[in-house]
Chains A and B, each alone.
Chain A
């Protein structure tokens, strides 16, 4: 009985027997139990199917053509018959060469070798013979089991290189991120100098919210980062508390660790976002690590919460200025702008920080200009944008305050004066900055002779002209001039009881004004022949 079972097992494990009869071989028969089109050898096809074929994709099926005489199955379509029918002939094909194989006593000569079936006995031998780096017997990757602390190896952490996972006391600095699906996976290590921002969803419940470690601030700050010979603790840089309706407030005072607490039907101090800031030296050592938290609250009904994580790296003693391109602007990065401080005689530097960005009004769902809370969107290079709001004019509205409010809404709190012409323009290079030209168009509905009537701005259009600069093969975008056009109109007083709605728009348009490129050609090579000065000696 064991023999029979072994035999059956061996039979089940071996590959199916190869088909060598030319009459039964059909390469184009791909669909099981269905007729393949133009496949004359398909046994699933009926004579009606054959009458619809145009040609035979496989006209001849033969064995090895080296044999002197072999059977060949010839399929053809007889198109003259009505309906067309398939002709199948089994003929003997003769190879006329004198070096044709008359007979062979080596059975595997004309067929492919059947591969050995792996069994528990020969698996190791097959693996060493055929397995390459793709399959290895022992996993050599690091063990991400955070329950087992990995003893730090001082020799390995002496210097970090780009992309190397940042090591901490236990395993690696975790940056939870979505893997495959949107659910958070805690096994994603943060790579050195790899700026990352991830968002993922974590399943939560109010009852167990203080036992889920990933909702706790301690989870992100308790293990210290290994750097050279000492360890760098992750300090808490700031804590922002987000209320249930989305309002965020920065917590002042000592940055005390706030642990999740269950209060009524809410769970407070749940980590909704972590932003790591790592400071490094130019030799690859980490000197400081800080984490800024966003804590929030979850209600009983919420079964999942979205967490966002970010990590950024700064070199010591530098203030990072995000470049929008190097040197030309990259589409999608914000346009850099700034102010020129009023100094006499000549200013040395422009002031450019995040408060002097070129921004455009951001449309709100309420669409009310006067209730706009100052939401602004940065102007990104290459992205034409248009936004707006609606102004409701009622009786008794004074023109002057409305005009001032609308100007604030359109231009923002600090509208910059200069725009950087290149994505990497430094603040010290005064000539690299382009002034913003302001135009004023006033729509006159009623032609009045008095120009002093109050006008309210209804549209701000920023037109950015840019050109391609540099080599033909790698053109860089360079901003040439920026024009901000403000269109104003008169505010007509309405009869009582009526109100009017005026749309107010702001837009940004990027126009490519580059001249067509002219390729430059190399000069023709010149033949430089000079005779030596005493060539005609002794005559000269």
Chain B
């Protein structure tokens, strides 16, 4: 920690911000020091740490001070860390939080995650050494590599060897994984080819393939994640799975729909259902494909797609056109309303409030006033006062 200097945290002229991350604690070697909770900034020239509670308290270290970095995986109760091994501080260094330290490395602990991206960017910056091409103002300490070479500590060689071994081990694991992945993909490719040839057969023999076989085929495609090449769609991309899912959804969604005035956006449904499941979540496509089957299965809920492309689930008993009549009343009472205002009054999401007002406009009950202040709706007096 004795390599750090006090800093204003303001970037110099030639210095650019690369990435920043909140929730980072700095350790002096293995020891916790009073640098608990800060924003860590990586620039082309430096690593800067600013205290989140006291923005004036800010320390920095030039990237040239770094020998190499290592990742330390997260553990139970422990955040992931980056270990930064440093050259010794230069003798004419500006003042910093520590005069001396028994460690030649620091640790950065990512309590709010973000270590993956940060590590990637930091490695890039250390490799590219952009600070050498863009010398920044005099106030920064640039460590000359010659000087560093002379004072290089013996312990670092041992660490480097360990790192090299670990790298080789990791490389071996990775390359084995990639090899296995390639072999797997080759087999998957065979499945894709086979499905294409079956799809062609089905296209040619339209009418000779039973409904049942088509459904079977679709379920095979679903398992593999292959897009359905057959255009003949009775149930959309539906399979038995989606039919079952549709029935399930009808069961789960009736109560939430009743609580929300009979209508919910598909995005809300996606979040609601997946939050409830916890595991074995639905993909967005699963949800859409299941919802497309609701109508034909005569279930108590249905899918509706507005002109804007917004998709909603409604109770069968819900009649949006009737809701328009009450919307008109509300707007008339207030003189005029924006989607935001209407949403707040009625207790709906802004997205659905806007769709209702647009529908009312489409039906001729409301007029719009479109200005930079927003989209405002008025009762359509052209209709009512002739």
Instruction: Tell whether A pairs with B.
Output: no
> Which residues of B does A touch, CB under 8 Å?
none
> Which residues of A does B touch, CB under 8 Å?
none
